[in-house]
A and B are shown apart, each in its own frame.
Chain A
Amino acid sequence: MLQAAAAGETAGFGENELVTIGAVLLLAALLARLGQRLSLPTIPFFMAAGILLGPSVPGIVLVDDPVDLELLASLGLILLLFHLGVEFPVQQVVRSGRRLLLVATVYIVLNVGAGILLGLALGFGAQEALVIGGAVGISSSAIVTKVLIELRRLANAETPVVLGIIVVEDIFLAGYLALLSPIIGGAETPLALLGDIALSFGFLLLLVVVARFAAGAVAAVVHSREDELLVIGALGLVLLVAGTSEELGVSDAIGALMIGLVISRTSLSERVERLVRPLRDAFAAVFFIAFGASIDLGAIGSVLVPALIAGCLTLVLNLAAGVFAARVYGYHQRAAANLGLTLLGRGEFSLILATLAVSAGLDDRLASFIAVYVLLLAVVSPLAAANAAWVARRLPDRLFRENFTYVRGETMASSCTHLDTVRQVEPKTPEGCEECLEIGDTWVHLRLCLNCGHVGCCDDSKNKHAAAHFREEDHPVIQSLEPEESWRWCFVDKILIDPGATGTSGEQAQGTRT
């Protein structure tokens, strides 16, 4: 602010904090609206507003020192995590089952592990590499959810898995924050570091215990039937806990997230969620703007290539994780591509980790690196997800379960679920189509019902007795009876089931479904 006053040009104007915040928020909203026309998420545009009005872009410098926004920005960070905790679907996660946990773990280990290795390979220190691991490894809940809604994917078979993975990532985030903040906190000796880590996890555990056994008591403190008093009480509670955890040397982010989790276990959760959401939206925007304003554009040149490499790495690993998930769940190429490319978005959590790194005084380039990476993926991920079909056509069949082969642009909503109706059958009338033989008609090709052994003529034949048999008897799966052909077709799911390279006879293909 001294600079602006000295320069004389924006004196009096730039010094008024209300003018600063008002102008920058308005610009952020306008830019984000422009982005929405292009179906892009809001986070990169909020950052862009901060960059444009920040000190590193010549012209109008309203935010001459991002520190001016510090208090509001940290409110944004705290409310982002508090809200995440409040709407955390504990019950659904508990019920979700082992497959989701497996798929999410593979996703996280792949991405975070590769991020840490990349950080080391780029010449960052070990502490910085850990921050990069988290920033590169954790998807943005906000962007992923928005992409799913915008692209009309909520009814897809793989969507519950996508949403499940981002929720498991949130749990991982809590643990990672608890580990990371003492490590980057600058303990003098290894023993002190261990003590800090123990304190951090102890605090985490304490709040888990509170959430499990004493959530009602916490709720009683902030409870009110008046919305006004509830939102004030909840805000006071979260700031108090976040501030206390910061004082204890544990990150304020963990405190906010965990007290949100405590609230989520109470009957207040829905109201608090609804009341806090607009507050979160407003202050989170300030957080993203302040982050943008803190970026030194001059330093971007040196981090552009590393950020591009990191982006490509994330893209490849997301597709790999998508293929893995598809194998576990028995999905086809289209679902694999949707999974991987939707989860590509990076945003609020990466920036939260970057903020922690900055306040711990780590390498200066880290913030610019993560900012460029987030800007890149926040813009690329909606575009990539929208073009998932193009990617799906290029994923080779052999990566998937052989029963679920993708057939020349043939689309399907989910995998065939009727293979359990398949039995070991012998053709009842091996000499030809049962009905055609009766009426003395002819056929083109023969199809065998895998439920009862009925032999019928194909849909290219004029009588189409195989399809008629399905309509009458509800036996969904047929197999070709032509020599050299062993494919199956499910009438209900409309999926061609290829026995694949290894299985030439019926029972082998049947045995591969696990």
Chain B
Amino acid sequence: MGRHVKIQELMGIGKRYDLGVLGGGQRVSVVLHKDGHRELYAFEKSAEEPSAVLELSDDESRMLGAVLAGTYFED
């Protein structure tokens, strides 16, 4: 899987992780800001403008990450 994640320095802002082509040609980029907050860019197939951008705090990112990783929650 590793080769599908591209790391890009964004000088003065932080780092960007590009998750290449997901199923059906969708792309996801995660921008990790220096202050810890994240932005998650989602692109439809071959689109240049993102179809959604989520701004997440440090905590929110961990929560989303845990859910995505399949952590079991009970409400």
Spell out A's residues near B (CB within 8 Å): 87, 89, 92-93, 95-96, 141, 145, 148, 152, 154-156, 159-160, 163-164, 166-167, 270, 273-274, 334, 411-413, 492, 494
Q: Does B11 contact A (CB under 8 A)?
A: yes
Q: Give Cα A163–Cα B14 distance, bound, in whole angstroms.
A: 11
Contact of B46 among A92, A160, A274, A411 (CB under 8 A): A411
Contact of A92 among B9, B16, B41 (CB under 8 A): B9
Given A152-B53, A334-B48: A413 in contact with B12 (beta carbons within 8 A): no
Q: How many chain B residues touch the partner (CB < 8 A)?
A: 24
A128 CB to closest chain B CB (Å) equals 31
Q: Which residue of B lies closest to A274 (CB)?
A: B35
Please classify the interface of chain A as helix (H, G, I), strand (E, B), loop, or mixed, using the class held by over half of its residues. Answer: helix
A412:B12 contact, CB within 8 angstroms: no
B39:A93 contact, CB within 8 angstroms: no
Q: List residues of chain A with CB within 8 A of the CB of B16.
A: 154-155, 160
Given A334-B48, A411-B46, A412-B48: A154 in contact with B9 (beta carbons within 8 A): no
A145:B31 contact, CB within 8 angstroms: no
A87:B46 contact, CB within 8 angstroms: no
Q: List residues of chain B with CB within 8 A of the CB of A494.
A: 25, 46
Q: Give Cα A494–Cα B12 distance, bound, in whole angstroms.
A: 31
Contact indicator per residue, chain B 21-34, by CB within 8 Å of chain A (1) or not (0): 10001010101001
B17 CB to closest chain A CB (Å) equals 10
Interface centre among B9, B27, B50 (most CB of A within 10 A): B9
Q: Which residue of B lies closest to A492 (CB)?
A: B21
New A-B contacts (20) at CB < 8 Å, excluding given A167-B11, A413-B48, A492-B21: A89-B9, A89-B11, A89-B12, A92-B9, A145-B12, A145-B13, A152-B49, A152-B53, A154-B41, A155-B27, A155-B29, A156-B48, A160-B16, A163-B11, A163-B12, A334-B48, A411-B46, A412-B46, A494-B25, A494-B46
Contact of A411 among B21, B34, B48 (CB under 8 A): B48
Q: Does B66 contact A (CB under 8 A)?
A: no
Given A155-B16, A334-B48, A413-B48: A92 in contact with B27 (beta carbons within 8 A): no
Q: List residues of chain B with CB within 8 A of the CB of A274.
A: 35
Interface centre among A92, A148, A154 (most CB of B within 10 A): A154
Q: Give Cα A219–Cα B11 distance, bound, in whole angstroms.
A: 24
B48:A92 contact, CB within 8 angstroms: no
Q: List residues of chain A with CB within 8 A of the CB of B43.
A: 155, 413
A163:B10 contact, CB within 8 angstroms: yes
Q: Which residue of A lies closest to B20 (CB)?
A: A492
A156 CB to closest chain B CB (Å) equals 8
Contact of A152 among B8, B12, B13, B50 (CB under 8 A): B50
B40 CB to closest chain A CB (Å) equals 10
Q: Does B47 contact A (CB under 8 A)?
A: yes
Q: List residues of chain A with CB within 8 A of the CB of B21.
A: 492
Q: Give Cα A471–Cα B27 distance, bound, in whole angstroms.
A: 18
Q: Give Cα A148–Cα B12 distance, bound, in whole angstroms.
A: 12
Q: List residues of chain A with CB within 8 A of the CB of B13.
A: 145, 148, 154, 163
Q: Give Cα A274–Cα B18 distance, bound, in whole angstroms.
A: 27
Q: Which residue of A lies closest to B48 (CB)?
A: A411
Contact of A155 among B11, B12, B25, B41 (CB under 8 A): B41
Q: Give Cα A152–Cα B11 distance, bound, in whole angstroms.
A: 16
The 5 nearest A-B residue pairs measured at CB: A155-B29, A411-B48, A155-B41, A163-B11, A494-B46
Q: List residues of chain A with CB within 8 A of the CB of B8.
A: 160
B35:A152 contact, CB within 8 angstroms: no
B50:A160 contact, CB within 8 angstroms: no
Q: Give Cα A148–Cα B46 distance, bound, in whole angstroms.
A: 20
A154:B31 contact, CB within 8 angstroms: yes
Q: List residues of chain B with CB within 8 A of the CB of A413.
A: 27, 43, 46, 48
B30 CB to closest chain A CB (Å) equals 9
Given A334-B48, A411-B47, A411-B48: A164 in contact with B29 (beta carbons within 8 A): no
B9 CB to closest chain A CB (Å) equals 5
Q: Which residue of A lies closest to B46 (CB)?
A: A494
Q: List residues of chain B with CB within 8 A of the CB of A89.
A: 9, 11-12
Q: Which residue of B lies closest to A166 (CB)?
A: B12
A167:B12 contact, CB within 8 angstroms: yes
B36 CB to closest chain A CB (Å) equals 10
A168 CB to closest chain B CB (Å) equals 9
B15 CB to closest chain A CB (Å) equals 10
Q: Give Cα A175–Cα B21 distance, bound, in whole angstroms.
A: 43
Q: Which residue of A lies closest to B9 (CB)?
A: A92
Q: List residues of chain A with CB within 8 A of the CB of B10.
A: 154, 159-160, 163
Q: List residues of chain B with CB within 8 A of the CB of A334.
A: 48
Q: Give Cα A89–Cα B41 distance, bound, in whole angstroms.
A: 24
A339 CB to closest chain B CB (Å) equals 14
Q: List residues of chain A with CB within 8 A of the CB of B9.
A: 89, 92, 95-96, 160
